[in-house]
Amino acid sequence: MEIKKVGVVGCGLMGSGIAEVSARSGYETMVLEVNQNFLDKGLASIKASLDKAASKGKMSEQDREATLGRLKGTIDVGDFKDRDLVIEAVIENMDEKKKVLASVDKVCPPHAILASNTSCLSILQMAMATGRPAQVIGMHFFQPVPVMALVEIVKTIVLTDETVKAAEAFSKSLGKQVIFAKDTPGFLVNRLGFPFMMNAIRMLDEGWTTVEELDRAWMMGTNSPMGPCTLMDFAGLDTMYSMACAMYDEFKDPIYAPPPLLKAMVTAGMYGKKNGKGFYKYD
């Protein structure tokens, strides 16, 4: 199956990145948001990212213009009637994702593939909310999408091989590497990484050290580009909290349980870099 027209639902941190790489890779790409305000904000962040790439010489002016020409925004799901692939990147909430995929399913052509960028929720549960479960797949990108090389492709037990092959070919055409994962919470990367990040918050809560020292220790000791607190601020603490709840709910293993400090920060409206307040403050 040939993918030419791509839809992305949600133009936040991840949706904007996915739409950017899709348009950069030659696909006619349309993003859907809840209202004009969020749509304008999302499109502006994609434009800013393209401007930065062009100013650093990572893409030509001509490519920047052509990419912008392939990118459109809408607040009407009906505009997805001609999409070959739709990737949802709305908030990490099963009810919202089911609602979104069911509405996209109603308007998309029968051949279209529907994908979710969820970090840990069940793809099969989302698939069963649509009339085409065999064409619903997990495509888990990493942040920042234009930079990170990996897409985890999440396979359910009802998927067709054609859907898997099309999702794999599309991911590779974006310049990404693919790994396949089973439809279990957290897939591969988050299942490995979550106990580490939740443990970092517990260590802070118990007063072992400071945010800065914890990050510095991890970076120096492991030669990593960023420490756990910076990483969680970048990912969004609200998203981290939803993921921890979902993983703990499934596994009932305390290593995934959201620590009280994470819950308190989210309750206090500290969502990380996206709203300027997290473990660190951002302008």
Ligand X SMILES: NC(=O)c1ccc[n+]([C@@H]2O[C@H](COP(=O)([O-])OP(=O)(O)OC[C@H]3O[C@@H](n4cnc5c(N)ncnc54)[C@H](O)[C@@H]3O)[C@@H](O)[C@H]2O)c1
The residues carrying an active-site annotation are 119, 140, 152, 190
* Options 3, 5, 7, 15; binder of ligand X; rule CB under 6 A: 15
CB of 259 to ligand X, least distance (A): 18
Nearer to ligand X by Cβ, of 91 and 255: the residue is: 91
Token pair recorded at residue 173: 């055409």
The reply on whether position 229 binds ligand X by CB under 6 A is no
Contact predicate 247/185, CB 8 Å: yes
The number of beta carbons lying within 10 Å of the beta carbon of residue 120 is 25
Binders of ligand X in range 112-131 (CB under 6 A): 117-119
Nearest-CB residue to ligand X?
12
* Options 23, 235, 247, 262; binder of ligand X; rule CB under 6 A: 235
CA dist 165 and 32 (Å) reads: 25
CA dist 56 and 51 (Å) reads: 9
Which element (helix H / strand E) includes 181?
strand 177-182
Nearer to ligand X by Cβ, of 10 and 278: the residue is: 10
The reply on whether position 96 binds ligand X by CB under 6 A is yes
The reply on whether position 152 binds ligand X by CB under 6 A is no
In order, the DSSP letters of 65-124 are: HHHHHTEEEES-GGGGTT-SEEEE---S-HHHHHHHHHHHHHHS-TT-EEEE--SSS-HH
Furthest-apart CA atoms within the chain: distance in Å: 55
Nearer to ligand X by Cβ, of 73 and 133: the residue is: 73
Decide: helix, strand or coil at residue 154: strand
Segment lying near ligand X (by CB under 6 A), choices 52-60, 135-143, 213-221, 222-230: 135-143
How many residues at the interface with ligand X, by CB under 6 A? 28
Contact predicate 113/90, CB 8 Å: no
CB of 60 to ligand X, least distance (A): 28
Nearer to ligand X by Cβ, of 1 and 189: the residue is: 189
Residues that bind ligand X (CB under 6 A): 9-15, 32-34, 38, 89-92, 96, 100, 117-119, 140-143, 235-236, 239, 274
